[in-house]
Amino acid sequence: MFKILSTASALPKCRKTNDDLSTFLDTSDEWISQRTGIRERAVCTDETLTDLLTQAASQALERAGITAQELDLILCATIRGDYITPSQACVIQKEIGASCPAMDISAACTGFIYALDVAAGYFARKKVKKVLVLAGDCMTRMMDWSDRSTCVLFGDGAGAVVLGEGENLMAIQLTANGNVDVLNIPHVGGDSPFDKLPKKQSYLSMNGKEVYKFAVSSMYRDVQTVCDEAGVKVEDVDWIVPHQANLRIIEAAAHKLKVSGEKCLTGIENLGNTSAASIPIVLDRANTEGKFKAGDLLVLTAFGAGLTTGACVLRW
């Protein structure tokens, strides 16, 4: 249904190590790194999400050798754009000079794979020839920075791929299981004089133990499922690109799958959890480093608030 023509990514210029966070939080590099694998992350200061996504989008287009006017669709996976409306995809459309339809995909950390599935539907119906898929979030702006159990986990960033016509998507699966309690971010309200609902801070709330159990089991299940659908064995996969939430989750899932740790691409050590952007950022890093060869089998797998999951098998 499609093939990936190019990849790109963008990070804020400011970096914060675990030691930096320990200057105002009751934490340490040892406490964070042993539990999560994270040692540093990029954080937004004066950048907007639009800045990061525009940089990634422009780079992806340049690498694909096409102009913004050649795009038939723009999809952007994000938890929260710079505006409630218009969509972040529409904002980027203007910034890069495109004129195609544009819309956001809201599936939290699974958003990039959800967006790939939406794109696949457009390719299947012969509605598009070139699609820009973006993913990005400024997660550090949604944290309670007095809560050491959550704020140390996240970083900011954006990723992008340009898709073209091809047969490289071999299988894809999405799931959702409505659960607000395990992971949520309340909405920012207005000041209606008629509103009787209690006001909540728009901070991320997460039950880490429940997320861990859900993540390991869902990654194991989804990778098995898409490999079966694609007619390949897990051991024949060249690279697994997992959502970068916690290195311990990735290691536990790889162990259950009996997959070598060398096959699992990670960047969480210096990225933190960048939500939907984590897979395309790591994908871009590996691509630009020349890790992928033509014909390599890749499995992308993610999980996120919703609770949502997604996985796909791609031939490079």
Where in the sequence numbering do the catalytic residues fall? 109, 243, 273
* H or E element at residue 41: strand 40-43
| Phi (first) and psi of residue 187, to 5 degrees | -80, 150
Measured CA to CA in angstroms, residue 131 lies from 3, 119, 168, 223 at distances of: 10, 7, 15, 25
Spatial contact of 4 and 162, defined as CB atoms under 8 Å apart: yes
Number of residues that make up the chain? 316
Q: Distance between CA atoms of 143 and 287, rounded to whole angstroms?
A: 31
Alpha carbon 93 to its chain centroid, in Å, reads 20
| CA atoms 53, 128, 116, 101: torsion sign | positive
Angle between helices 247-257 and 29-36 (to 10 degrees): 30
Determine what percent of the chain falls in helix, strand and coil, rounding each to the nearest 5.
Answer: 40, 25, 35
Radius of gyration, alpha carbons of the chain: 19
Closest CA to 21 of 153, 142, 139, 209: 153
